[in-house]
Amino acid sequence: MTEEIEKLRDMIAGSNNIVFFGGAGVSTESGIPDFRSVDGLYNQKYKYPPEQILSASFFRKYPEEFYEFYRDKLVIGDVKPNRAHLRLAELEKEGRLRAVVTQNIDGLHQSAGSRNVLELHGTIHRFYCVSCGEEMPEAEANKSTGVPHCAKCGGIVRPDVVLYEESLNDKVISEAVRYINEADMLIIGGTSLNVYPAAGLINYYRGKKLVLINKQPTPYDRHANLVINEKIGEVFAQV
Ligand code: ZN
């Protein structure tokens, strides 16, 4: 065990109000591609770049093309939580961790057993009608071909994910701010901290146990109390 891992263990052992903030890197270790990385979905076969297809205006204009891309790329098959997800769920059960704040939409924290998960960008596991708000079960939305329509009013059904051009849910943001503000330890993992709102949220942390776990260095490394440049799953397997 390295010195850093040992330090992380000690910090966790002395905490009972940990908040974890995670980015795409937490999911990539489960095999889910990162939209924002060059190795991700940018260099793919579609006519438009992913950030255009996954925008609110594109969805309004071309819902069929949106769903074609969505089903091809965002509906995940047999993906399993990795050791980071699993250990975080355990830490919650042990009464050490209060909340997971995530930028991912895949629901892997919940599959691992985490209960208090704040999904900043929504989830691929919920669908609703844009006209009347009626929810459609995930299995139904995913098995339909083309654009799914509401059983109640015939309106277009969309996934409950935050699209480009849309703002984040205020309630989720303020909950995340509250948890981070009150946390005795903040662990940030799998994010380069370049993407809004990650960088802004860190500023609400007031404690002295700020841990950054990321394969590459981040602009916030010098503010952290502990920096670990390793794969997040491998780190959590050891603590
Ligand atoms: Zn409806």
Spell out the residues 6+ positions from residue 156 whose beta carbon is closer than 8 angstroms to its own. Answer: 63, 129, 130, 131, 147, 148, 149, 150
Q: What is the pLDDT of residue 37?
A: 52
Structure tokens at 118: 């704040």
CA of 136 to the centre of ligand 1 (A): 9
Q: Give pTM, 2 decimals.
A: 0.93
CA of 182 to the centre of ligand 1 (A): 39
What's the gap in Å between 148 CA and the centre of ligand 1? 11
Which residues have a catalytic role annotated? 121
Distance (Å) from CA 124 to ligand 1 centroid: 19
- The two structure tokens encoding residue 99: 């909340």
pLDDT (tens place) for every residue of the chain, 239 residues total: 699 999 999 999 999 999 999 999 999 999 887 765 544 555 566 788 888 999 999 999 999 999 999 998 888 778 999 999 999 999 999 999 999 999 999 999 999 999 999 999 999 999 999 999 999 999 999 988 899 999 999 999 999 999 999 999 999 999 999 999 999 999 999 998 877 776 789 999 999 999 999 999 998 899 999 999 999 999 999 99
**Dmax (CA) of the chain:** 60
Q: Using the mean position of ligand 1's atoms as its centre, give its distance from the Cα of residue 159 in Å.
A: 13
CATH of domain 1-32+81-121+167-239: 3.40.50.1220
**What are the extents of the domains in the chain?**
1-32+81-121+167-239
Token pair of 77, please? 């098959």
